[in-house]
Amino acid sequence: MWIVYLKCQGEWLYRGTKGIFWVSRIGKKGYIMRILYIAPRYHTNQIAIIDGWIRHGDTVGFLSHYEGCIEDYSSIKPIVVGYSRAFLFIERFYLRINRKKENAIDFRLKYGFPPLIKLNKLIKQFSPDMLITRERSIYSIFVTLLCKLHKYPVILYNQSPLWGEVVKEDLSHKIIRSLTPSYRITPVFCYGKKVEQKRKDDKAFYLPFLMEPHLAPSKKSYFGDGYIHVLAIGKYQERKNHFMLIEVIEELGKRYPVRLVIAGEVSNEFHKRYYNEIKQYILSRHLDTIVELKVNLSRNEIFNLYKQSDLYVLASTAEPASVSHLEAMSFSLPVILGEDNGTANYVEEGVNGFIFRDNDKEDLKIKIENLLFDREQILRMGKESYRLVCEKYQFVSYYTKILEILERMD
C-alpha cells in the first residue's frame, strides 16, 4: 500500500490508493468516502482510525482547534483552525484571573468558538460525506450549524459512557443537546462493571479505540537482564498516582527483581512542579537505581519502551478514557489499571491483566505482586493482550458501525 499526498488549500489530508472496495456513505461500490474530523487537537488515540480510513482507500481530513505539545503527524497533518479573535481576547483575561488553576486552559474546550468564515470555507472545500466533531461545546455548536446549512451528515464524538446515569433535563442541557449532533459515538462502554440501573440513548453507539498489533508475543523478549520491567505512561499530574505506584515498587523491590520506568508529558508549570516533586522523592529515598523518569518522548521512543517492558501499570484515578494500556496490549504486555477509568473494560480480568480498586494502594500491590511472583503468568497474559487487540480493536468493526450509523441517519 502506498499513499499519495493531496494538497487542498494547505497541508491537511492524505488518500490511500489501494482501496479495491470503495464505499459511499450508503455503502455503494465505486465511491471514495470523504471523512472530516474536527477536534480540539490531534490525539494519538486517533492514529489507528486515520490509518484505517487511508488503507481502506478513503479520503480523510482533520481540523484541530490548536496544536498539542506532543503529536505524531506520520499519518496526517491537521489544519489548525484556531479560535476567533473575540474569544482569544476573553481567554486572556480568564487565564490571567485563574493563572493558579492547573485546568484553567480547559476553558477553551467548553467555551471557545471558531473563526466562523475560515471554518466554513475549510468545511466546504473538503465537502465531507461525513463529519465527526468532538464534545458538546460552543465550537461543536458552530460546526453542527454549518453542517446543517450545507446538509453534511455530522456525528458527535465524546467520552461519555454508552451506558450512563440519568440524562440531565434542565433547560441549559436541553438547549446544548438540541444544537449539537443527535447521533453520538464513544469509546467508553460504561463506568464500572455493571450496566444495571443505567440508561443508553438509542442514538449512541460504542466504538472502542483502535490499535495496530505492534509486537507479537512470539517476537517479544521478556525479562531483560533478569529483571521484570514495569512501565507507566501519562502526564505528570497528581491524579496519575505516580507516588502510590513508586511506593508499591519500592516495597516489592525488596523481594523481587523489579524496575519501574515512568514516561510522561511536561508541558506547563504545573506538570514541571509535580515532576520535580517526584524526582526529589526518588532521590531522597535512594530509589534512582530502580525507578527512572522520562519526559516528553516521541512516539517511536515510547514504542521502544513498550518493547523493553514486561508489564504495564496505569495507577491513575478519574481517567476519562485512557488508550495507553491498549497500546501496551499491542506490544504483548499484561496490563494493570484502576477501576475509575472509562476504558477499563478493555482489560479482561484475569485473562490479560487485572483491575484494582480506585486509589487502593494495597490492592494495587497485590495485583502487581501476582505477576511478579509468577513470570509464566506474565507471558500468558501478554499473549492474551495481543490476541484481544487483533480480535476486538481493528478498523473493520469501527468502519461497519460507522456505516450502520450513516444508514440510520439517511
pLDDT digits (tens, 9 = 90+) for 383-404: 999 999 999 999 999 999 999 9
**Topology alike, domains 3-210+394-409 and 217-392:** yes
Q: Give residue 303's pLDDT.
A: 97
- Give pLDDT, residue 289: 97
| pLDDT at position 167 | 77
Say what the pLDDT of residue 31 is.
55
The parts of the chain modelled with pLDDT lower than 50 are 1-30
pLDDT given at position 173 = 87
Domain 3-210+394-409 CATH (choose: 3.30.420, 3.30.1360, 2.60.40, 3.40.50): 3.40.50
Domain extent listing, the chain = 3-210+394-409, 217-392
| Domain boundaries 217-392, CATH class | alpha beta
Cell numbers standing for residue 24: 459511499
Give me the pLDDT at residue 166, please: 74
Tell me the per-residue pLDDT of 304-336, one tens digit each, with 9 for 90 and over: 999 999 999 999 999 999 999 999 999 999 999
Tell me what pLDDT residue 29 has: 38
